[in-house]
Structure 1
Amino acid sequence: MAARRSAAATREEIRAAATRLFRERGFTGSSVRDIAAAASSDPALVIRHFGSKELLFLETMQLSFDDDRLRDVPLGALGERFVEALLATDDDTRRVFLALIQASGEPAVAARLAELHDANFVAPLRARLTGTEVDARARTAGALLAGLLYSLWVVDDGAALTADRDGLVRRYGALLQAVIDG
């Protein structure tokens, strides 16, 4: 007879299975039954532990951009460095971003995307900017950064990246720097 798992162990196995499936298949491509099967669990336990597939998705699809490497960058060089940092993000970040975008028709996911956009792009820039229209400039810069990710990861415009990465950093960095500088 197999040993029973603790509730905490079951919850963690469900969470790990959901994380993997959501990153591989997205929100709509991962059913509660699929998640339960991958966790060697019962679908009812998925709901018991997380409430709904959407709540499980929101708990597992965390996205954060490490802006520590940008803290000591002089403001006049921040545009290019921010673009370089975005282009250096790992595949795991890309998968989470895509899963969130694909599920953005769900109101709670759309709200999470707005929070993540503000926390990862707008707030770090807002904290560094001075002068007039700080919030508007930070939001515009955030939109430019999100647009770059959309082009590269959603519509897969790899030609923009592979043709001339340094040129892309210079061109996009200059656009971003113009907004940062105001």
Structure 2
Amino acid sequence: MVRRTGAETREEIRSAATRLFRERGYARTSVRDIAALAESNPALVIRHFGSKELLFLDAMQLTIDDEPLLDVPPAEFGERFVARLLADDDVRGVYLALVRGSHEPQIKERLRTIHEHTFVGPLRARLTGPDADLRARLAAAVVGGLLYALWVVGDAQLVAADPRELVTRYGALLQQLITPDGRA
């Protein structure tokens, strides 16, 4: 067995944790399982990350602010955002892992932070009018509803629907919230 550096061990643990949390969720993934997949010792998992919860938070990152979508004019945002969201398996895996672990206070707070800083805040900053905050929050709720129906509940009709139709219809719904009466 080749001896790894501390940084290599840490990265192997993070990689193993990411895989298992996405596949099994937070509750069904143990520190021992992570250590076994990383070919490491459970004590090293805790030494590098402090706790299973902290490792989860480190491994499960969800951001869209590095996406070009936030540069899309508000009048075109709806369909483009839904299309991007549905095409990204990484978003699905992280979203499901976070939802599955949301009974843990720090994970629930991470979901809240993602909601506020990754979607609501950047969108609100691009909107005008006295109801910009409400429109951004309603848009986030609509997106959350779609993700819940598809990925948590597994609504068979929606899962089987033509993705282009979902993008068109859900995109139009999202767009109506963002730009009612054509205003940004």
TM-score, normalised to structure 1's length?
0.89
**What CA distance in whole angstroms lies between the structure 2 residues aligned with 1:22 and 1:73?**
32
**What CA distance in whole angstroms lies between the structure 1 residues aligned with 2:8 and 2:72?**
43
**What CA distance in whole angstroms lies between the structure 1 residues aligned with 2:35 and 2:104?**
22
Match of 1:107 in 2: 105
Q: Which of 166, 177, 180 is the equivalent residue of 2:178?
A: 180
Please tell me whether the aligned partners of residues 78 and 177 of structure 1 are also in contact (alpha carbons under 8 angstroms). yes
Match of 1:24 in 2: 23
**What CA distance in whole angstroms lies between the structure 2 residues aligned with 1:159 and 1:59?**
34
Measured at CA, do residues 67 and 84 of structure 1 come closer, stay the same or move farther in structure 2, by a change above 3 Å? farther
Match of 2:92 in 1: 94
Per the alignment, in what secondary structure is the counterpart of residue 24 of structure 1? Answer: helix
Measured at CA, do residues 45 and 150 of structure 1 come closer, stay the same or move farther in structure 2, by a change above 3 Å? same
Please tell me whether the aligned partners of residues 67 and 124 of structure 1 are also in contact (alpha carbons under 8 angstroms). no
Match of 1:49 in 2: 48
Q: Which of 147, 164, 167 is the equivalent residue of 1:166?
A: 164
Aligned-pair CA distance for 1:112 = 0.2
Number of positions where the alignment pairs a residue of Structure 1 with one of Structure 2? 180
Measured at CA, do residues 136 and 43 of structure 1 come closer, stay the same or move farther in structure 2, by a change above 3 Å? same
Please tell me whether the aligned partners of residues 10 and 48 of structure 2 are also in contact (alpha carbons under 8 angstroms). yes
Aligned-pair CA distance for 1:105 = 0.1
**What CA distance in whole angstroms lies between the structure 2 residues aligned with 1:47 and 1:72?**
40
Residue by residue, what CA displacement relative to the aligned partner does 1:125-166 show, whole Å, maximum 9, x if unpaired? 112101121111111111111111111111112422533433
Match of 1:75 in 2: 74
**What CA distance in whole angstroms lies between the structure 2 residues aligned with 1:163 and 1:11?**
41
* Segments ≥4 residues shifted beyond 4 Å: none
Please tell me whether the aligned partners of residues 64 and 120 of structure 1 are also in contact (alpha carbons under 8 angstroms). yes
Gapped regions of structure 2 (runs ≥ 5) = none
Please tell me whether the aligned partners of residues 70 and 123 of structure 2 are also in contact (alpha carbons under 8 angstroms). no
Which amino acid in 2 is paired with 1:143? A
Q: Determine if the alignment matches structure 1 residue 13 to structure 2 residue 16.
A: no
Aligned-pair CA distance for 1:67 = 6.1
Please tell me whether the aligned partners of residues 120 and 140 of structure 2 are also in contact (alpha carbons under 8 angstroms). yes
State percent identity of aligned pairs: 62
Aligned-pair CA distance for 1:117 = 1.4
Aligned-pair CA distance for 1:58 = 0.5
Match of 1:120 in 2: 118
Which amino acid in 1 is paired with 2:28? G
Equivalence map 1:121-140=2 (5 Å): 121-140=119-138
Gapped regions of structure 1 (runs ≥ 5) = none
Measured at CA, do residues 43 and 86 of structure 1 come closer, stay the same or move farther in structure 2, by a change above 3 Å? same
